[in-house]
């Protein structure tokens, strides 16, 4: 394993994971939100190809207005219409 002070590559942490799984994790877990993959991009990623059905996947209109993070460990997002 890697030392705590340095970034540990997902390939080291998950040696049995597929290349596509590692690629999707790296794209979804970017700290900088501008570099992070969107939900739509994640759903279209080849790793999720067997489960991806654009006709049955809904998108919320607009940008989030308010995001609440209750202490119960979940997030509620209210979208503008």
Show the beta-strand stretches assigned E in the chain: 64-68, 76-79
Q: pTM of the entire structure?
A: 0.64
Q: What confidence tier does 6 reach under pLDDT thresholds 50, 70, 90? A: confident
Span 36-54, average pLDDT = 88
Mean pLDDT is lowest, of 4-13, 17-26, 37-46, 53-62, for 53-62
Strand-pair partners of 68: 76
Determine the pLDDT at residue 35. Answer: 92
């Amino acid at each position: 394993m890697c030392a705590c002070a340095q970034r540990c590559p997902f390939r080291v942490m998950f040696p049995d994971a597929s290349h596509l799984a590692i690629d999707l994790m790296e794209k979804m877990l970017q700290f900088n939100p501008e570099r992070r993959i969107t939900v739509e991009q994640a759903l279209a990623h080849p790793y999720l190809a067997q489960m991806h059905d654009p006709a049955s996947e809904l998108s919320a209109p607009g940008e989030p207005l308010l995001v609440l993070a209750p202490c119960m460990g979940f997030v509620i997002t209210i979208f503008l219409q």
